[in-house]
Amino acid sequence: MADSSKIKKSIILSGLVGTGGMFVAKLIGIIYAIPFSSILGSDVYMGIYGQAYNIYSYVLSVFTAGFPFAIATLVARYTVLEDAKTVLKIRKLSIIALAVMGFAGMLLMMALSGLLAPLMVAESVEVMKKSLQILSLAIFFVPVLSALRGFYQGRKEMEQYAFSQAFEQLFRVGFLLSISCLFVYALGLERKWALYVSVLSTSVAAIAGIAQFLAFDKKKKLEIENEAKEEPQTGITQSALFKEMFMLAIPYMISAIFGYSQQIFNAILLPTGLHLHQYNEQTISTIISATNYVGVKITAIPMILAPGFTAAIIPHITEALTKNDLSKTRKNVIDCINVVLCIGIPVSFCIFLYAGPINYTLFYTENLSMSNYVLAWLSIEGFLGTLGPVTTNLMMALGLKRTSLRRMMISNVMKGCLMVPLTMFFGFAGSVLTSVIADGYLMIFNFKEMKDVYQIQFKKTLQILVRLVLVILAMFVACQLLNWIGLSGQAGSKLVAFACMCLNGALSVLTGLIAAYFLRIPQNVFHIRLGKKGA
């Protein structure tokens, strides 16, 4: 593994380390979701679990999502300016501010739970209401943890940032599975108690994450305090810092509100469109479960690139702009986009290729063919949800906030207006087509503005994109040939099918890697030397 100084200097290494921690966290999330779906044993409860988290994520974003980015920006700026006293003030102020904002969000979600539950489910309304109320507790604890992460993100401590993600998830899953099994299998309680434990686990894990971060913080804070003792008294007051933090947070917060709107659309507008398409109630429950439970878990694999690289984007581009180094700024933008495309496209395509085996071998479902259909379409959402947030946060870091937010608003209006009619006409696929139209508009014009304002040339990115199309074509051919000889992973016992899926996947991915090597994709994207020089 690269040493700490190399990670801090490279946006690629920083992004990969940040993504690595989230990948481990999401992998743990997928692994636990397999037995947990059996513990819940119901498409209805699985759907409630996913929908409740959609509302939680949205409320969390409304109250706090902009602040970690603002904190990271300020910390990065004043670290470059070698103002340790101000950095310490930011640390204290950020924890207080996010604790207050989180408390307000917790109260709001508790108050609205009774109104939201009947809009989200036709049955088990009381279970949905209680799930929302329990989950609202996390809206207080998670922002405090986010404040600490944002602070050390700005300090480019990406190893700790990554470890924190994995530690929190591991603690959450351990609590969730052990207590759920105790309640359902040992005590014989109703399965809804496993659902309640699952939403409570978010708060429990956040508390554990805060404790771990504070242990790390003791040593690092002392280092900053020693630096501060050698500096003259800063003239920047806490009120001025809070104003600066708030002004920086507002655009990021608005961006997060718009960015998380897809979850609200899936929770409220999607069921409306599905009913108008005249799916029966059982099919709708399967689609909601496949979208909000299985879909969220699986599409999170490519989508972790977005927060991983967003965490790296802010300190690196802030540093380059503070030093007025436009050449490095352009390089950081191109590197970031190329890496996200290089990883995001093949991974999203794998979700499409293996939607059937994934559902057959890993998850509980009452309608396998419909679940496969939904997950295959969601692979497109996985890619859009990977690249879209990265382009938006690049725009924010580059100071192009106003136009970026205006486009996000237009994109969300487009989604809100198109989701119900397109879903009514095309079924579930219509909801994904809505995202293709709206997110496509957003990303195309973001790229255009970056090119116009910063003279960033995307010629190399287009070349990488064409080569990636050839890579996924090679993977598709390999997968189909392996399916033809009986390694489809959709027949026989689940254990044998799982082994076939893994073998099929490994050989298809190996084919893609060989194709990528001969097309010189890793050499150009990751700036590594493999074989002869040249593009």
Domain ranges of the chain: 4-457
Q: Which two tokens stand for residue 414?
A: 């487009």
Do residues 81 and 323 make contact, with C-beta atoms less than 8 angstroms apart? Answer: no
Look over the chain and give the mean of its residue pLDDT values, rounded to a whole number. 82
Q: Which residue blocks in 323-427 are alpha helix, DSSP H? A: 326-353, 355-362, 368-397, 401-426
> In the predicted model, is pLDDT for residue 42 greater than 80?
no
E strand or H helix that includes residue 513: helix 494-518
Of the candidates 412, 423, 389, 143, the one whose C-alpha atom is nearest the C-alpha of residue 261 is: 412
Name the burial class of residue 104, with classes exposed (0-12), middle (13-18) and buried (19+) by CB atoms within 10 angstroms of its CB. middle
pLDDT for the residue numbered 150: 80
Q: What is the DSSP letter of 122?
A: S
Asked if residues 227 and 78 have their Cβ atoms less than 8 Å apart, the reply is no
Rounded CA-CA distance 184/342 in Å is 43
Between the CA of residue 53 and those of 67, 154, 382, what are the distances in Å? 20, 28, 17
Q: How confident is the model at residue 30 (pLDDT cuts 50, 70, 90)?
A: low
Q: Which residue do the tokens 């329990």 mark?
A: 134
For residue 535, what pLDDT band results from cuts at 50, 70 and 90? very low
Q: Taking a C-beta distance cutoff of 8 angstroms, is the pair 84, 228 a contact?
A: yes
The structure's pTM equals 0.67
Indicate the range of 25-29, 386-390, 435-439, 509-513 predicted with least confidence.
25-29
Under a CB-based contact definition with an 8 Å cutoff, are residues 268 and 120 in contact?
Answer: yes
Q: Which residue has the tokens 């293709």?
A: 436
Q: Tell me what the mean pLDDT of segment 308-313 comes to.
A: 58
Q: How far apart are CA 14 and CA 523, in angstroms?
A: 18
Q: What is the pLDDT of residue 514?
A: 95
Both structure tokens of 233: 């008294």
Which has the higher per-residue pLDDT, 153 or 147?
A: 147
CA atoms within 13 A on the CB side of 322: 16
The residue that leads in pLDDT, 15 or 503, is 503
pLDDT digits (tens, 9 = 90+) for 261-294: 666 777 778 888 998 998 888 888 888 878 877 7
Whole-angstrom Cα distance, residue 68 to residue 102? 13
Residue 7 banded pLDDT, cuts 50, 70, 90: very low
- Phi then psi for residue 378, to 5 deg, are -70, -15
Q: Locate 122 and state its tokens.
A: 């036709």
Cα(319)–Cα(314) distance, rounded to whole angstroms?
8
Alpha carbon separation from 255 to 62, 109, 403, 434, 455 (Å, rounded): 10, 20, 11, 19, 24
Hey, how many other C-beta atoms are within 10 angstroms of the C-beta on 247? 10
Lookup: tokens for 469: 């199309």
Q: Could you give the CA distance from residue 462 to residue 441 in angstroms, rounded to a whole number?
A: 18
pLDDT in tens, 329-341: 888 888 888 888 8
Distance CA 196, CA 132 (A): 9
What SS3 state is found at 364? coil
Q: What are the tokens at 301?
A: 């694999």
> For 194-238, what is the HEC assignment?
HHHHHHHHHHHHHHHHHHHHHHHHHHHHHHHHHHHHCCCCCCCCH
What would the pLDDT profile of 187-238 be if each residue is shown by its tens digit?
A: 888 888 988 988 899 899 999 989 988 888 877 778 788 877 777 766 677 7
Q: Is the pLDDT of residue 509 over 90?
A: yes
> What is the tens place of the pLDDT at every residue in 419-450?
999 999 999 999 999 999 999 999 999 999 99
The predicted pLDDT at position 503 comes to: 94
